[in-house]
Structure 1
């Protein structure tokens, strides 16, 4: 009798233990499934948000480009009339440069939102006064007319936002995010692609040919006051980098030194596992391709590209000194002075 009772209790405890293990296993599996589902949902939500933000940024960028193009078109049609009006009002406006490059602050939706918000008129007029003061300081001029934005005048009825209907403007601005249009004169920069159309071995009666002169100018730009500290070895390092850039773009396959001297095949700079390719020997399609060139380093390339007013891949082999930055103009003067025997050697 006692033996049967002991066996009964053993059987009951065994069944309870098995049931507990089954329940724990089910809970564990369900917990894992729930966590996996939650993790997957979070990932998909983040992917969806990233895709939405990407698409939104693309549309905002496209809108900025379209509005800037529209403004440039209107500016081209109106600049003759504006020139005479601005001259009579003694307002410092240069009609040779697009309006968007002279007053980039006015190509921003954040400014438009501020103008059409409560109290926006006063804030916008304050900004307009700051813009005018900045332009006068740059040009050393003093305008007599007050610049207003709001009702709106900019220099006595030249550029009005008052022409916009407030209700329509608010409807237009009813979207998330902001964009700002920025334009610049590409002919005011050094065109890297000019090396593709130049002959490194072209003979000249005296001095340097156009190919070597362009390289010397680019060296001067890289060693300008703004970027000089980025090249520890100074002119030697900058000259080697410029030589590699020119060789990568020009049509021949030789390493070209100053004076028409060649030194082996330019593809020898791109041997080994790190490279796996040779010189392009044609025009670049993006400034980011400069990263493919031997000797090019982000430590100086990123600041150069961030400033955006030194080099380009568009335009011709000429530089518009009227719209070029101070560093470009300084480099042009130094290059001309150093290449002219009649002018004493000068340094910046």
Structure 2
């Protein structure tokens, strides 16, 4: 009996050992499989991110190529006087007229639509079967030749997609313009405003007029600092002196007093902004109003505004500020909607005429001045003060872009990498274009 009992106990112990071993091995196997799977996906995502980053960089270089040929295009337009044939489109950079997107190329030449790896196959099939409205019911590939399709297939024989978007910084309001100006009343300037408002105050007025647009009123409803003081603080942050500069050249004490009362004290820079996000350090600038309007501001350029590329609201603000603050301008009723429409239309029509470069600036100025003087005898007889005012407006605007922001995107599977860069295209060769800003995110 004792032998049988001992044998049963030994069998129970053996069973427990076997079950324990199986449990440990199973847990270890599951843990190993889990860790292997995690490491695989991490490595795969890292590989996809690396591929996507190179695609984004490739898109950036394609953007540089478009900017290079944009310079050639504009030279041809100006030399051959082709602007009248192209109209308003002559003012758009090539990277805006012909946006580069491999997804779009796949849709046109291969019918792929730029679908990622994670796209639904059924949706892809349905999209391919739907007729295109623009081609009269024919699929995209049918509008291209076989040779074009083969060339596109060879070019697009890589995993992922990329695209490039560009923005001309001269279409925006320059916050660094105050660093180059003197904050004194009646200071002489390239705008010829020595007998009236200074160029420093003129740019403050334009920026204030933009922020005070009725559609932006809700953005400042909780702000303790009104737009006019915010603009003053932005100008004081970048100008060379250390005083709070009011309109007309008067001062209101040391500008450092605005920042010493904060728990986190820092000095006023008194020079140009290095990045656009640095503006958040200025007293009165907060995320609620600045972030939605951020795309309207720049820190690059000389402060001249590309009048043919900005929106109508900003054109109206520039007209209003210029007419109200510049001596020698013929009196007009800006409150009259018909008058303002006439002035804006004169600029838009001149921009659509198709000139380029300095010729376009001169044409826009003449058209605007003609619209101002339509009810005045000075339309054909401009005195010295009016001539100075006309030259003032001419020096306020530009028709040539020099600084461009390029935002390139690379995508592989679900991984997206973007590159934001700012380049100065003053020189003729892209090899000599300085890179002013570079961010990968």
**Given the two structures, how large is their TM-score scaled by the length of structure 2?**
0.56
* 1:263-278 aligned within 5 A: 263-266=253-256, 268-269=258-259, 275=264, 277-278=266-267
| Aligned partners of 1:68 and 1:181 also within 8 Å | no
The Cα shift of 1:168 comes to 4.7
Q: Say if 1:270 and 1:294, in contact at 8 Å, map to a contact too.
A: no
Asked whether the equivalents of residues 255 and 263 of structure 1 are also in contact (C-alpha less than 8 Å), the reply is: yes
Cα distance in 2 for partners of 1:40, 1:99 equals 45
- Which digits, 9 at most, give the CA deviation of each residue in 1:56-105, with x for residues without a partner? 22222331x12321331330332146535x64xxx45258625527xx34
Change (3 A) 1:329 1:125: farther
Q: Secondary structure at the match of 2:253?
A: strand
Q: Distance in 2 between matches of 1:218 and 1:235?
A: 19
Secondary structure of the structure 2 residue equivalent to 1:107: coil
Contact preservation (8 Å) 1:223, 1:234: no
Unmatched 5+ stretches in structure 2: 112-131, 137-142, 188-193, 338-441
Q: Is residue 31 of structure 2 the alignment partner of residue 32 of structure 1?
A: yes
Cα-to-partner distance string for 1:166-188 (whole Å, 9 max, x where unaligned): 7656544555424245453x334
8 Å CA contact 1:257–1:263 kept in 2: the answer is no
Note if contact 2:245-2:251 (Cα within 8 Å) is conserved in structure 1: yes
Are 1:319 and 2:305 an aligned pair?
A: yes
Higher share in strand: 2
Separation in 2, partners of 1:113, 1:30: 44
Counterpart secondary structure, 1:12: helix
Residue 327 of structure 1 and its aligned partner are, at CA, apart by: 2.0
Tell me what 1:179 maps to. Answer: 163
Range with greater deviation from structure 2 (326-335 or 72-81): 72-81
Alignment root-mean-square deviation, CA: 3.9
> How far off its partner does 1:36 sit?
2.1
Q: Quick one: distance in 2 between partners of 1:294 and 1:347?
A: 36
Q: Is 2:37 aligned against 1:41? A: no
CA positional deviation for 1:197: 1.5
Which consecutive unaligned segments of at least 5 residues does structure 1 have?
A: 127-149, 152-161
Aligned to 2:100: 108
Shift of 1:195: 1.0
Whether contact under 8 Å (1:267, 1:278) holds in the other structure is no
The 1-side partners of 2:307 and 2:224 are apart by 24
Instruction: Using structure 1 for the length normalisation, give the TM-score.
Output: 0.68
Deviation at 1:291, TM superposition (A): 3.0
Q: Bigger CA drift: 105-114 or 241-250?
A: 105-114
Whether 1:262 and 2:252 are equivalent positions in the alignment is: yes
Counterpart of 1:93? 87
CA offsets per residue over residues 244-295 of structure 1, 9 Å max, x none?
222222223333333422233436426656x464332221233232233332
For 1:113 and 1:5, how far apart are their aligned partners in 2?
79
Query: Do residues 280 (structure 1) and 269 (structure 2) align?
Result: yes
Q: Assess if the C-alpha contact under 8 Å between 1:114 and 1:123 holds in 2.
A: no
Q: Residue 105 of structure 1 contacts residue 111 of structure 1 at CA under 8 Å; is this kept in 2?
A: no
Which piece of structure 1 moves more, 167-176 or 236-245?
167-176
Equivalent pair of 2:258/2:283 in contact (CA under 8 Å): no
Q: Give yes or no for contact 2:204–2:231 (8 Å, CA) kept in 1.
A: yes
What SS does structure 1 have at the residue aligned with 2:87? coil
Bigger shift: 38-47 or 189-198? 38-47
Corresponding position: 1:289 with 2:278:
yes
Separation of aligned partners in 1, 2:75 and 2:196 = 44
- Please tell me whether Structure 1 or Structure 2 has the larger radius of gyration of its CA atoms: 1
- Retained in 1: the 8 A contact 2:260–2:266? yes
Measure, in 2, the Cα distance between the counterparts of 1:32 and 1:329: 65
Matches within 5 A, 1:184-333: 184=168, 186-201=169-184, 208-232=197-221, 237-259=226-248, 260-266=250-256, 268-269=258-259, 275=264, 277-306=266-295, 310-333=296-319
Q: Is the 8 A contact 1:219 1:235 kept in 2?
A: no
Q: Which moved more, 1:336-345 or 1:7-16?
A: 336-345
Structure 1 residue 194: Cα displacement: 0.9
Q: Deviations over 1:136-156 (max 9, x none)?
A: xxxxxxxxxxxxxx89xxxxx
Deviation at 1:46, TM superposition (A): 1.9
Q: Kindly tell me: are residues 261 and 317 of structure 1, through their superposed partners in 2, closer, same or farther at Cα, counting changes over 3 Å?
A: same
Aligned to 1:69: 67
Match of 2:415 in 1: none
Moved more, 43-52 or 326-335: 43-52
